[in-house]
Amino acid sequence: MAATTFLFVPGDRPDRFGKAAAAGADVVILDLEDAVAPAAKDSARAAAGDWLERHDAMVRINPPGTPWFEADAALVAARGVPVVVPKAENPGMLAGFREVVALVETARGVERAGELAAVASVTRLAFGHVDLAAELGVAPEDREPFAYARSRLVIASAAAGIAPPVDGVTTDLRDDARLEADVRYARRLGFGGKLCVHPRQVAPVRAGFAPTGAELDWARRVVTAGDAVSLVDGRMVDKPVLARARRILGE
């Protein structure tokens, strides 16, 4: 099953790297971009490099066109680790990396989602709605302005044959109900994971993306019914329904 929990940790806080690794997230992302002030970029890169000599992690580098991009890209290449590329808009900028999560957070990136997902090195798309909200002039807490963008990433991922996209962060760390609602909404749209900004978000996000007991029970009954067209709970079961049941079961 594809990763569902992606936990950011500031690259200039090496004292938190171990705590992030122990939080149980599927992926830890050492963040060299938004979490790090310009004056600390070089020291953050050095700290990330030291950690990656002994541990596995993903790195969010600074965007192409910034003064730090080349050095960040060199670090990722030297350590051979997966990379989160922010402000992903240009498919050609992604091809040089070994394994990429393309963070789509601009209008241009949304419109080119299909091209980004089709790059051979891209394994996931991720959605950066906070940055997109600033570009669009809307509130990041309002889901409605981003329905099209989210669906665009889901369709682009499916068309490219890669894992479902990763939804953006829930910024209010105190609102557990909001986090759970955000996960339900993202899963309903077809997302397969979520970016987390604090270790306490990891467990709820994982639970929210896991199949429910009812879904697992339904999937087992569908698979047991076999490949032929049949009825389960009074509803027709054919090949697409069977495929969905097998995905739920991780087959």
CATH number of the domain encompassing residue 53: 3.20.20.60
The whole-number pLDDT of residue 214 equals 78
Round to whole Å and give the CA distance between 119 and 122: 5
Kindly report, residue by residue over 123-142, the tens digit of the pLDDT: 999 999 999 999 999 999 99
Is 72 within any annotated ligand binding site? no
Token pair 């991720």 in the structure block, residue = 126
Tokens 């992606």 identify what position? 6
122 and 224 both lie in a single domain: no
For residues 63, 64, 66, 69, the Cα torsion angle rounded to the nearest 10 degrees is 80
Domain shared by 170 and 222, yes or no: no
Question: Do 206 and 216 have their domain in common?
Answer: no
Q: What tokens were used for 190?
A: 């077809």
Same domain, 168 and 198: yes
Residues 173 and 218 in one domain: no
Instruction: Provide the domain count of the chain.
Output: 2
Q: What is the pLDDT of residues 48-91, one digit of tens each?
A: 999 999 999 999 999 999 999 999 999 999 999 999 999 999 99
Task: Tell whether 178 and 93 lie within a shared domain.
Answer: yes
Cα Rg, the chain, nearest whole Å: 19
Residue 7 DSSP symbol: E
Query: In this structure, are 183 and 245 located in the same domain?
Result: no
Is 131 marked as binding a ligand? yes
Q: Identify the domain containing residue 70 by its residue range.
A: 5-210
CA distance linking residue 132 with residue 143, whole number of Å: 12
Residues 123 and 102 both lie in one domain? yes
In the chain, which residues have pLDDT < 50? 1
pTM for the whole thing?
0.89
On whether both 46 and 118 belong to a single domain, the answer is yes
Please enumerate in sequence order all residues whose Cβ is within 8 A of that of 137, keeping only pairs 6 or more positions apart, or say none.
Answer: none
Asked whether residue 70 is marked as a ligand-binding residue, the answer is no
Using DSSP, state whether 55 is helix, strand or coil: coil
Please check whether residues 206 and 240 belong to one and the same domain: no
Q: What is the rounded distance in angstroms from the CA atom of residue 53 to the CA atom of residue 77?
A: 13
- 92 and 137 together in one domain: yes
For residue 27, the tally of other CB atoms under 10 A from its CB is 21
Co-location of 204 and 229 in the same domain: no
